Amino acid sequence: MTSPTSPTSPTGSSRTPRRITPGLAGAPTDVDVVVVGLGVTGAGVALDAASRGLRVLAVDAHDLAFGTSRFSSKLVHGGLRYLASGQVAIAHESAVERGILMETTAPHLTHPLPSLIPLGPGVSRPLGALAGAGLVGGDLLRRAARTSADTLPRPRRLSAAETRQLAPPLRTEGLRGGLLGWDGQLEDDARLVTTIARTAADRGAAVHTHARVVAATGTSVQLRDELTGADLAVTCRTVVNAAGVWAGDLVDDVRLRPSRGTHLVLRPEALPHLAVAVFAPIPGETNRFVLVLPQPDGQLYVGLTDEPVDGPVPDVAEPTEVEIGFLLDVVSASFARPLRRSDVVGAFAGLRPLLDTSDGAGEGSTADLSRKHAVLTSPSGVVTIVGGKLTTYRRMAQDAVDAAVASAGLTAGPCVTATLPLLGAAPREALAEEAARADHPGRARLVRRYGADAGLVLDAALEASGWAADEVLAPIAPGHATVPTVWAELFFGITHEGAADVADLLDRRTRVGLVPADREVAVPAAQRALEVVAAHARQSGR
């Protein structure tokens, strides 16, 4: 493994990594595979195909992680929920993919998350026993997937005192104890997508943001550069449609039935000293919970809902006041201090790309639609990959590329992504030590968000800005502790990660935008970063 401050990639190569490009300038016009969409699925497909030796062009109409992939719960799930409904194969697949992500491909972007089910008045003894059995089942899944107990410790029953210690703001009346389990958590979902896309580019894929596919056959696509309005025709051997909830816009024979999931963002003070995720039982439901999820930056997310979405699919889904009220009510029942509407500093919603397999659309609950992914080859030859989840993106990509290679008769190497670390990957403990040793809090933050590529990010920021190290490592909004982002993150987003505007920087390369008040404070910095990089490039004749 490379040192966290080395500009080399974990593959040992010291060449300059290929960068993600906004717009279609320099895009190839003849490739093996065109990938439509750069959410987690499309980024995974681009990486899978490029690492098998195929010539790849991967594009997104907006930006990396523009769609559902940035609005997830940011969990790396082990598939317990599928086990509960008897879907053993999907549960096993999820647990295997969780292990690959946490132990091999992205230890730098994932960490174990302790989760607590408080055994209070809202959880009857039979329900508590059921939840306990579920955690034991989850641990069996972990073992079957050969994930180490060092990565995800075994679950255990806690006394009432231990429960209170881990989650001081819990309601204590009637608290009998708790159940402690472990799952994986992402540093950030959009950062995972960006890192997969960057790794795909490093493996030779041409990755372009702000480039929309307006029409596709199995052997050609028409593209529009959303920055300049220019058109481009590209010939290819196969097209993989990974456009998420918009996949049906490109092919007639794929029908989706999206469901909306909403999360709230709270400041840490709303539920102080919460060191674990808490499962708050939904009254009247068996084994369904609202989750309170502490984030690496200290914020708390509360989610999640499951509401069918009818009509046209919006670019960005909006949470409703009814959903916000529901989440506040459920969580308040488990904590000593009821949450108020004023505790909510942000709210976001994502759309699950669920495949509609029913005869008559619009019937039944979206919670019943299969979460398993599907690969569908249209009569035109376009291969569509939908469904699934963030945790299983690698397997989804493998299945999609297998299908595309078979249907187009391509010659490609075997899938290697299960053993291919993403850029910046290094053992979690080594990175933690590196962050602890860092001589500047900004540098420690870069190690947390870019792993072994922290040095590359810093060097790129210095070069792109012409600023001093202390300046690029400084927070972009001094005096606003809720905006810990540093300048180097913005500069690197522009130079290496295909960010073209303020929204790319604040809503996807960083997640400042999840809290509107923080976003407002950060907008001038994002504008300045774009100006500085453009001016410095002009001066240095690039």
Ligand X SMILES: Cc1cc2nc3c(=O)[nH]c(=O)nc-3n(C[C@H](O)[C@H](O)[C@H](O)COP(=O)(O)OP(=O)(O)OC[C@H]3O[C@@H](n4cnc5c(N)ncnc54)[C@H](O)[C@@H]3O)c2cc1C
Query: Does 21 engage in binding with ligand X (CB under 6 A)?
Result: no
* Cα distance between residue 109 and residue 101, in whole Å: 9
Site string for ligand X, 43-62 (x = CB under 6 A): ----------------xxxx
Q: DSSP labels for 379-441? A: TTS-EEEE---GGGHHHHHHHHHHHHHHHHT-------GGG-PPTT---HHHHHHHHHH-SSH
Query: Does 350 engage in binding with ligand X (CB under 6 A)?
Result: yes
Query: Does 279 engage in binding with ligand X (CB under 6 A)?
Result: no
Q: Which is nearer to ligand X, 395 or 443 (CB)?
A: 395
Q: DSSP labels for 2-21? A: --TT-SS-TTS--SPPPPBE
Which of the ranges 65-73, 78-86, 230-238, 264-272 carries the binding residues for ligand X, by CB under 6 A? Answer: 65-73
Please state, in angstroms and as integers, the Cα–Cα distance from residue 183 to each residue in 82, 116, 305, following that order: 15, 11, 20
Q: Which is nearer to ligand X, 69 or 299 (CB)?
A: 69
* Cα distance between residue 134 and residue 124, in whole Å: 15
Task: Say if CB 207 and CB 58 are below 8 A apart.
Answer: yes
Strand 220-225 and strand 211-216: pairing? antiparallel
How does DSSP classify residue 103? I
* Cα distance between residue 112 and residue 129, in whole Å: 24
Query: Does 242 engage in binding with ligand X (CB under 6 A)?
Result: yes
Query: Does 243 engage in binding with ligand X (CB under 6 A)?
Result: yes
How does DSSP classify residue 316? S
Q: Which is nearer to ligand X, 304 or 408 (CB)?
A: 304
Query: Does 232 engage in binding with ligand X (CB under 6 A)?
Result: no
Q: Which is nearer to ligand X, 99 or 244 (CB)?
A: 244
Between CA 497 and CA 243, with CA 213 as vertex, the angle to 5 degrees is 75
Q: Which is nearer to ligand X, 371 or 445 (CB)?
A: 371
Query: Does 138 engage in binding with ligand X (CB under 6 A)?
Result: no
- Total number of residues that touch ligand X (CB under 6 A): 39
Q: Which is nearer to ligand X, 212 or 480 (CB)?
A: 212
Q: How far is the CB of 260 from ligand X (least distance, A)?
A: 7
Q: Which is nearer to ligand X, 45 or 457 (CB)?
A: 45
Query: Does 39 engage in binding with ligand X (CB under 6 A)?
Result: yes
- Taking Cα atoms as reference points, which of 446, 389, 506 lies closest to residue 75? 389
Q: Which is nearer to ligand X, 32 or 507 (CB)?
A: 507
Output Rg (C-alpha) for the chain, integer angstroms.
23
Query: Does 81 engage in binding with ligand X (CB under 6 A)?
Result: no
* Cα distance between residue 258 and residue 353, in whole Å: 5
Site string for ligand X, 374-403 (x = CB under 6 A): --------------xxxx------------
Q: Which is nearer to ligand X, 443 or 509 (CB)?
A: 509
* Cα distance between residue 214 and residue 173, in whole Å: 59
Q: What share of the chain is helix, strand, coil (3-state, %, to 5)?
A: 40, 20, 40
Which one of 2, 9, 21, 41 is in contact with ligand X (CB under 6 A)? Answer: 41
By CB under 6 A, what part of segment 195-214 binds ligand X? 212-213
Which of the ranges 49-57, 122-130, 351-359, 428-436 carries the binding residues for ligand X, by CB under 6 A? Answer: 351-359
| SS3 at position 186 | strand
Q: How far is the CB of 385 from ligand X (least distance, A)?
A: 7
Q: HEC profile for 501-524?
A: CHHHHHHHHCCHHHCHHHHHHHHH
Q: Which is nearer to ligand X, 257 or 352 (CB)?
A: 352
From first CA to last CA, the distance across the chain in angstroms is 32
Q: Which is nearer to ligand X, 389 or 443 (CB)?
A: 389
Query: Does 519 engage in binding with ligand X (CB under 6 A)?
Result: no
Query: Does 511 engage in binding with ligand X (CB under 6 A)?
Result: no
Query: Does 67 engage in binding with ligand X (CB under 6 A)?
Result: yes
Q: How far is the CB of 247 from ligand X (least distance, A)?
A: 8
Which one of 244, 248, 424, 493 is in contact with ligand X (CB under 6 A)? Answer: 244
Q: How far is the CB of 497 from ligand X (least distance, A)?
A: 14
- Taking Cα atoms as reference points, which of 294, 319, 293 lies closest to residue 305? 319
Contact residues toward ligand X (CB under 6 A) are 36-42, 59-62, 66-69, 71-75, 77, 212-213, 242-246, 250, 261, 304, 350-353, 388-391
